[in-house]
Chain A
Amino acid sequence: MNNPHHLNPTSLKSRFTTRFLRALTKIRAQKPISSSSPTEIFRRYRRIKVAADKSMAYSVRSRRIWSRAMLWKLRSRSYRRQDPCSGRRSGKTNQAIMKKSSNENTTTRREDGVGFVEEADELRQLVPGGETMNLCNLLDETAHYIKCLTTQVQLFSPIGKG
């Protein structure tokens, strides 16, 4: 796929576009939609959403905490689906799961001494992998995450306009 017009062939946007389009064509090739029943559509929606998340996370590689967390989540999800006893698959999976549960049950409030605890906690829930970040890193990750989300929205939004 040559992109002569693109501004930067290695930018996040182009990397994400390539990956996502590839995944999308794969999905569409898999299930030629005859029926447009809501369940079918929903299933495809899920797959597309996962594909979008995955391609975004892979475009960012492991350079960011949130992308790493997202990749781990995706991998653990796929492992769990394939193999019910996925406990032995990877220690990191357990860690991720435990972290999630601990986040819901216990009140691991990070009092950073700055006084934005509630907002910071909310933000941590929004940004993938946010529970492990102190406020400083959280803000960094949020900025990058916002940038990536905006790229996604920009790419998706012209769909169906025609």
Chain B
Amino acid sequence: MESNAGTLATRSNKTALEREEVAALESLQFTDEIHCLMSAPATDNASSFTALLELPAPQAVQLIHSPDSAKLIAAPAPNVEDFKGGFHFPSNGGLIERAARFSVFAGEGNNKSDSPEATSNNSSANLQKAVKSEPAETDSSQPLISDPTVENRGIKRKDPEKVKGQTKKSKTTVKESSDDTEKLPYVHVRARRGQATDSHSLAERARREKINARMKLLQELVPGCNKISGTALVLDEIINHVQSLQRQVEFLSMRLAAVNPRVDFNFDSVFTAESGFFMDSNFSGMVMPMMWPEIQLSATCLGERRSLQ
């Protein structure tokens, strides 16, 4: 994947958008496909971008804010703002569609991987055409990019390593950010609009998102945590749960210790799915005011019981 990135990177006349798209595509590991497509350059210059954009597209999104742009994919609107302006990208309707689809992911981490897979088969033909024309286009017509904002991004995103496409998170928004850019070679996290982009905040944001993902898992584990909003409260709930579990184990092992050892373990029954132990137990010596349904004991109850022993 690195070598593919290298080849792509060496086309220094690439536009920012192309690079983004290729990065987005690569990040989804279509590199083999792209690579063999890129190696067989063919030109399809005849049609203009806008003409191809009017290809029958399944869904629509406002990729380009120019009046004659076609809507390609339905997605949350502000996602694809760098297609703004008269961005002429000939014969790349399919490519843009795919890239935009890949890159649209405002928080839909998993969904993103599904939809490209689904459409990949459909648009592979388009992609072929699109990608083939890509190198031709870059070589032949640079002045296509007339949009100043796109220029801006082109200037900002000079690093060829950008194309390495190993995005740190699986998010590759193609959003236009006014203060965008990761100038560092190995930070592949894309900033969203209006967010700070120095390495510290990016790393922090990545960490925060990891932490949030894990908190979600924990919320599922701990019963009754789904309704609580606010991470501090959820953490409190988790702490309570862990404490109660530990106390339960203590209490149950105490009960085990108290049980008279003249018991017959029925081992086979232990391994049946739900039954647990069957014990012929004799509680002669121990006074344990048990109330079996109250297995889910609160801390205070446990304290009382222990003091009774």
Task: Please report A residues at the B interface, Cβ cutoff 8 Å.
Answer: 1, 3-7, 14, 17, 21, 24-25, 28, 31-33, 35-36, 38, 41-42, 44-45, 47-49, 52, 112-116, 119-120, 122-123, 126-127, 135-136, 139-140, 142-143, 145-147, 149-150, 152-162
Contact = CB atoms under 8 A, between A and B. Distances in A.
A87 to B, nearest CB: 30
A1 B215 contact: no
Name the residue among A4, A49, A113, A139 with the largest chain B CB count within 10 angstroms. A139
Nearest to B261: A28
Nearest to B213: A139
Contacts of A135: 211
A1 B267 contact: yes
A113 B201 CA distance: 11
A34 to B, nearest CB: 10
A17 B266 CA distance: 13
Given A5-B272, A143-B214, A162-B278, A156 B249 contact: yes
B255 interface: yes
Interface in B237-282: 238-239, 241-243, 245-246, 248-250, 252-261, 265, 267-268, 270-273, 275-281
Contact of A36 (B214, B249, B286): B286
Interface stretch (B32-40, B89-97, B141-149, B202-210): B202-210
Nearest to B233: A119
Contacts of B295: 157
Nearest to A53: B249
Contacts, number: 158
Given A5-B272, A21-B267, A45-B253, A160 B260 contact: no
Given A146-B221, A161-B276, 19 more contacts: A1-B271, A21-B267, A41-B258, A52-B253, A114-B207, A114-B211, A116-B232, A119-B235, A119-B239, A123-B242, A126-B243, A142-B218, A146-B241, A153-B252, A157-B252, A158-B277, A159-B255, A159-B276, A159-B281
A120 B275 CA distance: 37
A140 B214 contact: yes
A152 B271 CA distance: 14
Binding site secondary structure of chain B:
helix
A28 B232 CA distance: 44
A160 B281 contact: yes
A154 B276 contact: yes
Contacts of B10: none
Smallest CB-CB A-B distances: 8 pairs: A36-B285, A158-B276, A156-B252, A45-B257, A3-B271, A119-B235, A139-B214, A149-B245
A153 to B, nearest CB: 5
B52 interface: no
Given A17-B270, A160-B279, A48 B260 contact: no
A147 B210 contact: no
A36 B258 contact: yes
Given A139-B211, A146-B221, A146-B241, A157 B276 contact: yes
B222 interface: yes
Given A5-B272, A146-B222, A159 B211 contact: no
B2 interface: no
A17 to B, nearest CB: 6
Contacts of B252: 152-153, 156-157, 159
A135 B292 CA distance: 37
A124 to B, nearest CB: 10
15 contacts: A17-B271, A31-B261, A41-B257, A42-B257, A48-B257, A49-B250, A52-B253, A119-B236, A126-B246, A136-B210, A139-B217, A153-B245, A158-B276, A158-B278, A160-B290
